[in-house]
Structure 1
Amino acid sequence: MNQGKVLSIRSSVVDVHFPVAPAIRNVLIAGEKGEYIIEVFTQLDNNTVRGVALTPTQGLARGQIVTDTGKPFEVPVGTALMGRVFNVFGNTIDKKGDVSGCEVRSIHREPIPLRDQSTVSEIFETGIKAIDVLAPLERGGKAGLFGGAGVGKTVLITEMIHNTVSGHEGMSIFCGIGERCREGEELYREMEESGVLGNTVMVFGQMNEPPGARFRVGHAALTMAEYFRDDAKQDVLLMIDNIFRFIQAGMEVSGLLGQLPSRLGYQPTLATELAELEERICNTKTGAITSIQAVYVPADDFTDPSAVHTFGHLSATIALSRKRASEGLYPAIDLLQSGSKMLMPNIAGERHYKIAQEIRKTLAVYEDLKDIIAMLGISELSREDQRTVFRARRLERFFTQPFFVTEQFTGTAGKMVSREDTLNGCERILNDEFADMPERALYMIGPIEEAKIENVA
């Protein structure tokens, strides 16, 4: 057994002297009950290592005995994890007892080799009209979800988990990085009440935890997801909230280790650290990990290094609009700001591409005319512009949709709409088939066939 002694402690950074220096990424344990967990980040010389504590270091003292486990950080994997809530160490935090008899795997794993990845671009249908038509997700791809507080981000995430479980016979993993404890607890309750928790694994590295724990929780969740993709051969939906907090935790760790910061104080290894996480999210010939990541943009500055490096990995962006939320147009997806690399004729199909372009054009013209309408009224517009406005307003209402996870609050049954049905509805609205029908008739319906005059009541 390789045992050493603590030389120095600076916040979460611990220097330890061993007879033989442990390997980088090895886990070190200290304390009577093994309550101090340290991961080796650097070898200072043949005998001394510098590690970052993943637990609080209060009570750890110089000269204390530290044991090298001889292996990297490991978490449990398997079907027994479903419906449970874990911390970064793979310990349950939902007060429902421990998970036993599970295989454990290292959180540090290589990405799937390119030769084993599926090179076929497929659309991952969510059953949510606005996303499937204007910002389709890529199976095995990564989508960014941009939105502030109170615009329906949590509800949208929960609905996607529900639709993945029911529509794709897959499962979901929710990874909270730097989450507020309150938000995590609320999400857990909502998922439990809406019945989707049984096919979901939740992993949290909470805001009050040391930066080392927040920096590694994404890798822990991804290791669990890889089991379901590679061993269970399932489609997995991986939700990460918030990817910026992962970068922020890396920045804190980098500063503690004394690395020279790069632009705006970010760690010099930002691109590498983000790629280590993102490149493991991909699809194989037997299963896929499709990821939706909430992205916080500091001070709304899209040139910020964290935003720039994150955007490089995303194949779709879903922007939530507070204005649409205030108008009651849920899901409050900004139809013009959201987009996807999948929206190309050779992937989505010629018909889908043309309809999406026509929708964008119609909505953009309506957006430009809003100031004129506010000042002079719609009657002052030309006949053609009036028709465009009527089409745009009907499209906006058609893209609203009742969710399964809000049934108990709204009393309206949830709707899951196929991409083909949504395209048919949009095409018919663009062809003025519903010009004589009130806009309200298209509000909060599923397929276009449900549009009836009775909906106006």
Structure 2
Amino acid sequence: MDAEVCVTGIKTIDLLCPIHRNDYKEVWGEKSQLSSLILELAYRHKTYLQGQSIWVGCDSTCIKKRCVFGEIDDVLSLVIINGNDEIQDLERVRKAVERAKKDSVEGSCIWVFFDSGAHLCFEMSQFLSNESDSNCFAVFICVDIAQATFNRQSNVSRSVISLSRNDIDDQKLLAIDPLESTDTRTSFELADRNNMARQIKDLVGRYEGVSEIAATLGECELSEEDRIVMEKATKLIQFMSQSFFINKPFSGAEGEYVGFEETLSGVKRILD
């Protein structure tokens, strides 16, 4: 994996939409899902990467309610803005960034999450990109489902972590959508990962089409090629699924960290 990539231990993210230093990503989902993913990423960022995370928004009620890691300050610094004074709000975020830099371990990264209702996203990303050590930052714009629907229909290329709306019990459990989650960066170092990501998306996309045929006509009507697609995709989906730390109170399962090389080799075995 490229040294400029922050490995989260979440298989779907690390393979399909990895978090880079000096990154700018959109995160799509329902509000409760967004809060859960922010907390999950912040926990993993601090635990495995010794990094600092900041949340910026107008109302912290939801994210505080979703926190299962003890005191929220243990994993995430909250910056409350009111939206009435842009200069004052931006200064609050800058001060939080300065505090995070002082508390950061050398070589670690600072992640800044903007709530879907927060402004200043563009101004703050410009501020961070102008920092002398800008490669130590990653900015996440959390987009609620209504705006995400609009973004899907546009032709703008985006790096996206998309939260699935399927197979979720009342939005309590996190699941990453492998088809909508994507990374726009390309480089020689990421060539193998990008190629595998394309194979995964192609397989999952074909699986959805074949599943519809099977549900309508029955599996006996599937061709041999379609049966192979079904078998491979089922194995892949099972492999890519994993337990999140934020889900433990609802699922009872411990969170799981999976190294990138383990993820890569596991997917290669299935695809080959």
Alignment TM-score > 0.5, same fold: yes
1:279 is aligned to 126
- AA at the equivalent of 2:111: L
CA–CA distance in 1 between the matches of 2:207 and 2:172? 16
Partner residue of 1:240 out of 103, 114, 131: 114
The answer to whether the 8 Å contact 2:173/2:250 transfers is: no
After superposition, the CA RMSD in angstroms is 3.3
The answer to whether the 8 Å contact 1:170/1:236 transfers is: yes
Q: How does 1:159-178 map to 2 (within 5 A)?
A: 159-176=40-57, 178=58
Listed one character per residue, the Cα deviations across residues 109-140 of structure 1 (whole Å, up to 9, x for unaligned) are: xxxxxxxxxxx982222211111111112212
Partner residue of 1:154 out of 35, 43, 46: 35
Partner residue of 2:136 out of 279, 288, 295: 288
User: Do residues 136 (structure 1) and 8 (structure 2) align?
Assistant: no
Given the superposition, is the C-alpha separation of residues 299 and 430 from structure 1 closer, same or farther in structure 2, using an over 3 Å criterion?
Answer: closer
Aligned identity (percent) is 24
- CA deviation after TM superposition for structure 1 residue 387, in Å: 1.0
1:353 is aligned to 194
- CA deviation after TM superposition for structure 1 residue 394, in Å: 1.9
CA–CA distance in 2 between the matches of 1:365 and 1:327? 28
2:77 is aligned to 201
CA–CA distance in 2 between the matches of 1:160 and 1:380? 43
Partner residue of 2:163 out of 316, 320, 323: 320
CA–CA distance in 2 between the matches of 1:295 and 1:135? 16
Which stretches in structure 2 are left out of the alignment for 5+ residues? none
Q: TM-score, normalised by structure 2?
A: 0.83
Listed one character per residue, the Cα deviations across residues 253-299 of structure 1 (whole Å, up to 9, x for unaligned) are: xxxxxxxxxxxxxxxxxxxx754222123475596111222023549
The answer to whether the 8 Å contact 1:329/1:400 transfers is: no
Given the superposition, is the C-alpha separation of residues 331 and 202 from structure 1 closer, same or farther in structure 2, using an over 3 Å criterion?
Answer: same
CA–CA distance in 1 between the matches of 2:240 and 2:88? 38
**Aligned to 1:162, what secondary structure does the other structure show?**
helix
1:183 is aligned to 62
- CA deviation after TM superposition for structure 1 residue 339, in Å: 0.4
The answer to whether the 8 Å contact 1:129/1:399 transfers is: yes
Whose radius of gyration is greater, 1 or 2? Answer: 1
Which stretches in structure 1 are left out of the alignment for 5+ residues? 1-119, 247-272, 432-457
CA–CA distance in 2 between the matches of 1:420 and 1:352? 11
Q: How does 1:75-94 map to 2 (within 5 A)?
A: none
Partner residue of 1:338 out of 161, 165, 181: 181
Q: How does 1:356-395 map to 2 (within 5 A)?
A: 356-395=197-236
User: Do residues 301 (structure 1) and 150 (structure 2) align?
Assistant: yes
Q: How does 1:96-111 map to 2 (within 5 A)?
A: none
- AA at the equivalent of 2:232: R
The answer to whether the 8 Å contact 1:129/1:417 transfers is: yes
- CA deviation after TM superposition for structure 1 residue 346, in Å: 1.3
Q: Which 10-residue stretch deviates more, 368-377 or 321-330?
A: 321-330
Matched residues, number: 267
User: Do residues 127 (structure 1) and 9 (structure 2) align?
Assistant: yes
Given the superposition, is the C-alpha separation of residues 359 and 300 from structure 1 closer, same or farther in structure 2, using an over 3 Å criterion?
Answer: closer
Task: Judging by fraction of residues, say which structure has more strand.
Answer: 1
Partner residue of 1:228 out of 80, 100, 104: 100
2:89 is aligned to 217
- AA at the equivalent of 1:336: L
CA–CA distance in 2 between the matches of 1:414 and 1:299? 28
CA–CA distance in 2 between the matches of 1:389 and 1:382? 11
Q: TM-score, normalised by structure 1?
A: 0.52
Given the superposition, is the C-alpha separation of residues 303 and 396 from structure 1 closer, same or farther in structure 2, using an over 3 Å criterion?
Answer: closer
The answer to whether the 8 Å contact 1:345/1:352 transfers is: no
The answer to whether the 8 Å contact 2:207/2:229 transfers is: yes
- CA deviation after TM superposition for structure 1 residue 222, in Å: 3.8
CA–CA distance in 2 between the matches of 1:225 and 1:418? 29
**Aligned to 1:174, what secondary structure does the other structure show?**
strand
- AA at the equivalent of 1:166: T
